[in-house]
Amino acid sequence: MTREQAKERAEFLRAKIVYNSKLYYENDAPEISDYEYDMMFRELTELEEQFPEIKTPDSPTVRVGGKALDKFEKFTHTVKMGSLTDVFSYEELDEFIRKIAAEAGEDTEFSVEPKIDGLSVSLIYRDGVFVQGATRGDGEVGEDVTENLKTIKSIPLRLTEPLPYLCVRGEVYMPKRVFSELNEVREAAGQPLFANPRNAAAGSLRQLDSKIAAARRLEILVFNLQEGELYTDGRSAKTHIETLDRLDELGFTTVTNRTAAKGYDAVSAHIAYLGEHRDELAFDMDGAVVKVNELEKRVQIGEGTSTPKWAVAYKYPPEEKETKLISVDIQVGRTGVLTPTANLLPVRLAGTTVSRATLHNAQFISERDIRIGDTVVVRKAGEIIPEIIRSIPEKRTGVEEPFKMPEFCPSCGAPVIRDECGEGAATRCQNPACPAQTSRSITHFASKGAMNIDGLGPQVVELLLSAGKIKDIADLYTLRVEDVEGLDRMGKKSAENLVSAIEASKSRGLEKLLFALGIRQVGEVAAEEIAGKMRTLENLYNANFEDFVAIKDIGDITATALVEFFASAENRLLLDRLCELGVKTDAVGEERGELFAGLTFVLTGTLPTMTRGEASEIIKKNGGKVSGSVSKKTSYVLAGEEAGSKLTKAKDLGVKIIDESAFFRMLENN
């Protein structure tokens, strides 16, 4: 086949594939079989591989992802991608509408649409062809994620009309169905689950390998025209909703369930409607966006210093649902604590199906009079962790049963005790050989914040224990490929990857090892502080109570736990064995600086050029502390793209908010 013949055939195949893709993905009315479609796609791929020069930027084959990148390049937005002021009640919404009426007239029309819980991006088209796309970043500078965006099927690679220039803004999201399927696959593989669809979408879009992004099946809804002309004959849209209708004509998938409304009653009614029907949407939504619809009036009303005056985001209160408490399971943690977990009649809540929720401890259950068989109210704490708020006694039928903690460990059968010190009131199994404790201790040892052994999740740990391949954490470092290969779902490649990951974990250093050991009261932050001061395992062996309490943020209870741990002959034998097997037991980080001494930072959103983990390391190396929640004691909130409730709380408390640029200036100035 000549180059010209290949080019002609490729053009024919592209047209057929685009036509049939639209029928399949948008109209749900395919005309050909999946096999015929796949054969056309394969033929086009082979032609483009044989004749690379005939491949076009809008070829359907770019959807499957291309070469992996070393890093994302920075992208400066020509139109700032700003955020909106949040309102949390209908009273605040009414106040906003009254202000607009006073400024622009009682007849002012508003657009009301879902606030999609995803990742905001800009898309740029030249001569009707998609050429570049970027994340929001800090609103002014984002990351060029063009190759990953090309893999999203709802982004048109070529518009229906060859407009000279167009820039639109949309929200990339992971459909609820895809999110559930992805977590099922990750759970089966022993990988950590994504907390929610938004986190999954953000992580997927920022994969350096676009093939991974393609496999995540992301979608987008476009919700704004940023820049450019929608028509070539001089016409222009008068309202926001007209621009969205025109973007639909050009091939975009725009934000759904939108409406135009005048006055508080009509606006609040549609917000309530969206809230009532949020479960029916393919995407997660965390609110409704209310904007002045008439574009001229937007100009009249103007912009604030950081947000437009003509728009707000109404945020729904945390979603609560009623369901039935069917039974209670007891889980034995790595420190022997027995934790009751509720089994619920499955209920859809904040974007995921919830069938289990923590009950914390016996005191929590008793104080709330929660009984097996009760109708209970469930919500997600911070939109992530399911929790039971209360029971509904008036719905009891008489068959409900009070719950009692067991007297014997459900894992090993040893008697349990009531532990009132250290970690608070808890029921604890004191048998150090308890299988449940062993399994969870090894799982914790391998977790991301600890030794970070990729592929060593709970299911794989159980496989290794059941097969007698390991008895404790030190045994991990004796595993060979042939020991792992042949276990359930563990082929040769999986075995090689696991053994390599275990070998790589040897160099994590004392900071990670201390946390991985599961010493009571020693979390990630405390482990880093201790390692930063003690530096070596030998120093830890020789340290006394006074040495430990002299370390920042180490109190009497933690110091006592440390002394007891390192005084144990059994623990010393384990640590000595780890040393013999090549595990690094010296601190790998530099000694802490004093630049941020006494300062507490909270990180939120996606930063333009570094991960939050990288930012945390910089803060800690300079003597600062990183917290997961905002309070009056917080010194700074370091906010990036799509910052959420933490940013709102910081504003309410008057906590100083900085972006990545200001953070770097703090480092440079000192």
pLDDT grade, residue 542 (50/70/90)?
A: very high
Catalytic residues: 115
Interhelix angle for 660-669 vs 612-621, to 10°?
A: 20
Q: What is the 3-state secondary structure (H, E, C) of 620-644?
A: HHCCCEEECCCCCCCCEEEECECCC
pLDDT at 580 over 80: yes
Please check whether residue 388 is in contact with residue 322, taking contact to mean a CB–CB distance below 8 angstroms.
Answer: no
For residue 33, the 8-state DSSP code is -
Q: Hey, which residues does 344 pair with through a beta bridge?
A: 325
- Cα–Cα distance measured from residue 594 to residue 181, given in angstroms and rounded to the nearest whole number: 46
Alpha helices in 284-330 (DSSP H): 295-301
Please check whether residue 258 is in contact with residue 279, taking contact to mean a CB–CB distance below 8 angstroms.
Answer: no
Q: Hey, which residues does 87 pair with through a beta bridge?
A: 314
User: What pLDDT sits at residue 422?
Assistant: 46
pLDDT at 25 over 70: no
pLDDT at 108 over 60: yes
Please check whether residue 63 is in contact with residue 229, taking contact to mean a CB–CB distance below 8 angstroms.
Answer: no
pLDDT grade, residue 268 (50/70/90)?
A: very high
This model's pTM is above 0.85: no
Residues in the chain, total: 670
Hey, what are 340's tokens?
Answer: 């009751």
| Cα dihedral value 407, 412, 418, 424, nearest 10 | -140
Q: How far is CA 658 from CA 17, 372, 635, 651, in A?
A: 47, 48, 10, 12
pLDDT tens across 178-231, in order?
A: 988 888 887 777 667 777 788 888 888 888 888 888 888 999 999 999 999 999
pLDDT grade, residue 69 (50/70/90)?
A: low
- Cα–Cα distance measured from residue 226 to residue 170, given in angstroms and rounded to the nearest whole number: 10
Nearest to 320 by CA among 357, 371, 363: 357
Which strands sit side by side in the sheet containing 109-116, from one edge to the other?
85-87, 311-315, 285-292, 109-116, 259-262
pLDDT at 27 over 90: no
pLDDT grade, residue 511 (50/70/90)?
A: very high
Element (H, E) at 18: helix 3-21
Please check whether residue 660 is in contact with residue 609, taking contact to mean a CB–CB distance below 8 angstroms.
Answer: yes
User: What pLDDT sits at residue 293?
Assistant: 97
